[in-house]
A and B are shown apart, each in its own frame.
Chain A
């Protein structure tokens, strides 16, 4: 009677209560790939613990793995890793449909991979070898055929966590033994999504770009007033105020759209320090103009002139984000739309409030004069920072 129990062994019996201990992390590797044209650059973080299990790193077997021991095996680590990862692009006429995945061997042209460097990094569960990768594909990558087999033979619970970047877009995928080979759509990946990503960037940039907001505010503050006989007076109607605001915002938009496009397409380039300084100067001028009005009638012209400068500022952000060549125009328009939406949101909050209190002394003194003074001071600090390359306050 007791025989089968004895055979099964006590150990297994005890293993039963282990559902409880959620334990430390199972094995993962982190693969980050960036696709640019026909080139794939990557970083692959593999736990030293896993590499030791796979190919043995701890030469003296004392349980303390030194950097020398790791370094001595760099060639083997690279060879092992590269034997477990293959990248390729489907040949023209081969795989069109991203769903038709496996079984198309031969239809894929390989992108030969190389390890260009090896470092270390600390993850939440220990030290990882960091392999810097580079692959060159025969053609520009539209679909990336990734075949990941790392460690699956010795640990089927291992997972490969992929982050694939293309321009400003990022997608993720998880490799498991049951999904070791995946066709990853890179370019043309849901164009509308890409468009909205850039819209979001545009909105975001307006929201965090205090210099743009303050410039706009400086121009908008007097828009609900009119200058008569050397004094500010409330505008008569919502309509008049609205029209003035529309004129200013449209002029600003038109101007920065022009330079944003020119700069993004590489037709005009200005040094960023000059641009940033000029933007700060524009805020100073706009704010001072409220304190000592020189231009009172055609604020839209002022908005247009300085808008040209702000456009260069937007362009540098957009260029930093990286623009997918395949959908340059789409991203450009998306970013621009985002910037406009961000501006409209500011106007939508500002106009009703300003209109309601425009006739009060509070608005003229505290908001217009006080606000403009504050803006002018802040912008002067920015201006000196940017011109002199100092760091007084960060903006």
Chain B
């Protein structure tokens, strides 16, 4: 809480500055009428045509719940593929007639939970999912979404229970994916990887989307285990299978692969992969880090573009990007003190391996004892194994205060 108030004091004056700066750019009138001033999702794109069609159909009959949920679902998929949160707003709009109802239909509740999760309203999302499951304990989608939210918030016991309940309700590959995702960060990394890999091999008929998803998870697990060659091969498989010809890999996969490449000093590959995907903040961040590593001329410009995006997000009061912002402050701005505060604020909300990693790295860079303690306690408690942060964790342990803390924990156990 202390950190929150302290950061607020830092952020508030900055906000005023930003606000006054926000309108300092000079508006202009293009000299040439043929000048392209913006690139939009074109109607030539079949996906866009389909979305337009669905939207037009729905607007003729906005209370058609079947059409509304179908469109919302398509928008959510598109948000994931393009990494564009506007689609999430469009999905919410499609659900408008039911959005504020306390107990809408199961379909609407699951979609509402997914949208709430995407803006980090985890408690509200869980409440929606619990409502669904109380009515229909066989609702697989609600169960999986619930497991995901529990994973993100670090409730591994709850997530494992949710996964177990999928047995005999969902396909075996889905159940194993769910269980391995939890086990992989909860002291059972090796076995989780092996089980998921063999399950995938036993299901060659799995849908391409599911295969890509599983390949991505396996690649991340291998990267955390330090099996670089395996991880690289799996990432490449995921990238290759990302979809039918022409479809681009989704932003999550790209981000994960680029982190892997950056860790291995392969910044040039990152720059090549991301140069056309920089509209997405999370990818622009990796691109800028790669450019900086390469000593590229436009590194400063990319970093500046990113700064303006974070400022714009802060203006609207968003906090969903604090993980990225912490990494930005640490890796690009070289401000570990601000970075560690953001990493702690982020940690209060979500606890995925990437959240732990930025917490550990900012703790080490800033020398902040509280965040170091928080990270080490978590590592001891969950038994998460991650070779990418092992050296930094060892350094944190070497400092006296945290060592005592660890002994305390062991005694307490």
Contacts and interface: CB of A to CB of B under 8 A. Distances in A.
Interface in B40-54: 40-45
Interface string B5-26: 0000000000110011011011
A130 B27 contact: yes
A174 B316 contact: yes
Contact of B86 (A13, A18, A27, A62): A27
A23 B84 contact: yes
Given A65-B36, A125-B312, 16 more contacts: A1-B168, A8-B140, A12-B111, A16-B114, A23-B251, A26-B85, A26-B88, A27-B86, A45-B27, A48-B37, A48-B38, A58-B42, A124-B305, A124-B312, A130-B27, A157-B85
A22 B354 CA distance: 12
A43 B213 CA distance: 45
A389 interface: no
A16 B93 contact: no
B209 A122 contact: no
B79 A15 contact: yes
A153 B93 contact: yes
B84 A20 contact: no
B19 A63 contact: no
B213 A17 contact: yes
A156 B174 contact: no
Nearest to A5: B140
B259 to A, nearest CB: 11
Contact of B354 (A20, A159, A163): A20
A66 B88 contact: no
B98 interface: no
B316 A123 contact: no
A8 to B, nearest CB: 4
B321 interface: yes
Contact of B323 (A22, A27, A63, A123): A22
Task: In the A-B complex, list the 6 residue pairs whose CB atoms are closest, starting with the nearest.
Answer: A63-B42, A155-B89, A61-B43, A157-B89, A8-B141, A124-B308
A142 interface: no
Interface class of chain A by DSSP: mixed
A16 B148 contact: yes
A376 B93 CA distance: 69
Contacts of B119: 157
Contacts of B308: 123-124
A156 B88 CA distance: 9
A50 B93 CA distance: 14
A234 B373 CA distance: 60
Interface string B224-251: 0000000000000000000000000011
B411 interface: no
Contact of A1 (B99, B148, B169, B354): B169
Nearest to B148: A16
Interface string A111-136: 00000000111111111001000000
Contacts of B120: 19
Interface of B: 15-16, 19-20, 22-23, 25-30, 32-45, 73-74, 76-77, 79-80, 83-86, 88-90, 92-93, 96, 99, 110-111, 114, 117-120, 136, 138-141, 144-145, 148, 152, 168-171, 174, 207, 209-210, 213, 216, 250-252, 255, 279-282, 305, 308-309, 311-313, 315-318, 320-321, 323-324, 350, 352, 354
Given A11-B73, A12-B110, A67 B30 contact: yes
Nearest to B117: A19
Contacts of B96: 153, 156
A24 B309 contact: yes
Contacts of A53: 86, 90
A170 B15 CA distance: 12
A295 B84 CA distance: 73
- For the side of the interface on A, what is the size category? 35 or more
Contacts of B40: 48-49, 52, 57-58, 63-65
Contact of B16 (A121, A127, A170): A170
A26 B84 CA distance: 7
Contacts of A57: 40
Contact of A11 (B174, B209, B216): B209
Given A23-B282, A174-B316, A65 B37 contact: yes
Contacts of A239: none
A70 interface: yes
Nearest to B73: A12
B92 A156 contact: yes
B82 to A, nearest CB: 8
Contacts of A18: 76, 79-80, 118, 252
A58 B309 CA distance: 25
Contacts of A158: 89
B77 A11 contact: yes
B305 A13 contact: no
A303 B170 CA distance: 88
Nearest to A48: B38
A18 B19 CA distance: 30
Given A28-B316, A71-B33, A156 B280 contact: no
A9 interface: yes
Given A14-B80, A49-B86, A156-B89, A65 B27 contact: no
A61 B45 CA distance: 10
A97 interface: no
Contact of A5 (B114, B141, B152): B141
Contacts of B76: 11-12, 15, 18
A157 B79 contact: no
B24 to A, nearest CB: 10
Contacts of B25: 121-123
B280 A21 contact: yes
B37 A67 contact: yes
A30 to B, nearest CB: 6
Given A11-B209, A12-B76, A161 B316 contact: yes
Nearest to B255: A21
Nearest to B217: A17
B309 to A, nearest CB: 5
Contacts of B170: 2, 5
A120 B93 contact: no
B207 A62 contact: no
A210 B283 CA distance: 46
A66 B33 contact: yes
